[in-house]
Amino acid sequence: MRIATWNVNSVGARLPRLLGWLETTRPDVLCLQELKCATDAFPAAEVAELGYRTAAHGLGRWNGVAVLSRVGIEDVTRDLTGQPAYESETKARAIGATCGGVRVWSVYVPNGREPAHAHYDYKLNWLGALNDTVGAELTGDRPFAVLGDFNIAPADEDVWDISLFAESTHVTDPERKALAVLRDTGLTDVVPRPLKYDHPYTYWDYRQLAFPKNRGMRIDLVYGDARFAAAVTDAYVDREERKGKGGSDHAPVVVDLDI
């Protein structure tokens, strides 16, 4: 089974690339983030022509998550247990589904903006709700993974120059501690460092030639339980999909499993 995650940064703008990538890479399950569309505006018919069923969760021009599957899709859950609101609205940032006997959650963790911002507190509260949700999911009897854009670099080597992030989100101790608490529930980062290159970043800013200069961050993660992790046979970041005009600022992360 092949399971992938990808922050597409607007499924409407990225639809030709999404369809092309699905045709060439053929994941059995794909978790998407940052759809930037409402649920009923998701291009489900287009991906259905390639054999994929869709469970989407979107509210409009920001956020949005989805799970695409060609191995069945059941038990769809939208939003986390106790998911906090921001500015009086529960954002579309999490969706869970069972696909081919594997339980997955596609998550788009809040950015946090800056440590002094209310969005940062919202991010930490949101991660607490994610931890509660994962804890409940781990009582199940099928392989489980939470995948997506976590907006956290787990370690200093997951950013291109840690000295430039001293006053920034994504690398602060509270964020990393929240991620460590999540791992301590029984999850493993199944995309190890190094992969086939020294710095397996997953995100590069559009500005200042960040991608050609490889000034990136590893913030798109795949955390699996013991059953999921034991089945992993390969994992990689698809840097090729980040290249060229019209791409997302994130690269897909692909995990192959013997299930």
- The catalytically annotated residue of 108, 120, 122, 223 is 108
Query: Phi and psi at residue 149, in whole multiples of 5°?
Result: -90, 105
Per DSSP, helices labelled H in the chain are 15-25, 44-48, 118-137, 173-184, 226-231
In 226-242, which positions are buried (b, 16+ CB within 10 angstroms) versus exposed (e)?
Answer: ebbbebbeebbbbbebb
Q: Binding site annotation covers 151?
A: yes
Q: Binding site annotation covers 137?
A: no
Cα distances (angstroms) measured from residue 194 to each of 3, 22, 102, 191? 20, 26, 26, 9
Residue 40 is a catalytic residue = no
Residue 149 is a catalytic residue = yes
Residue 173 is a catalytic residue = no
Q: Binding site annotation covers 9?
A: no
Q: How far apart are CA 35 and CA 249, in angstroms?
A: 13
Q: Binding site annotation covers 156?
A: no
Q: How far apart are CA 221 and CA 188, in angstroms?
A: 10
Please give the span between the terminal C-alpha atoms of the chain, in angstroms, as a whole number.
6
- The catalytically annotated residue of 57, 120, 122, 149 is 149
Q: Token match 């949005």: residue?
A: 64
CA atoms within 13 A on the CB side of 255: 29
Q: Binding site annotation covers 256?
A: no
Q: Binding site annotation covers 149?
A: yes
Annotated binding-site ranges: 7, 34, 149, 151, 249-250
Q: Which residues are catalytic?
A: 108, 149, 250
Annotated binding-site ranges for Mg(2+): 7, 34, 149, 151, 249-250
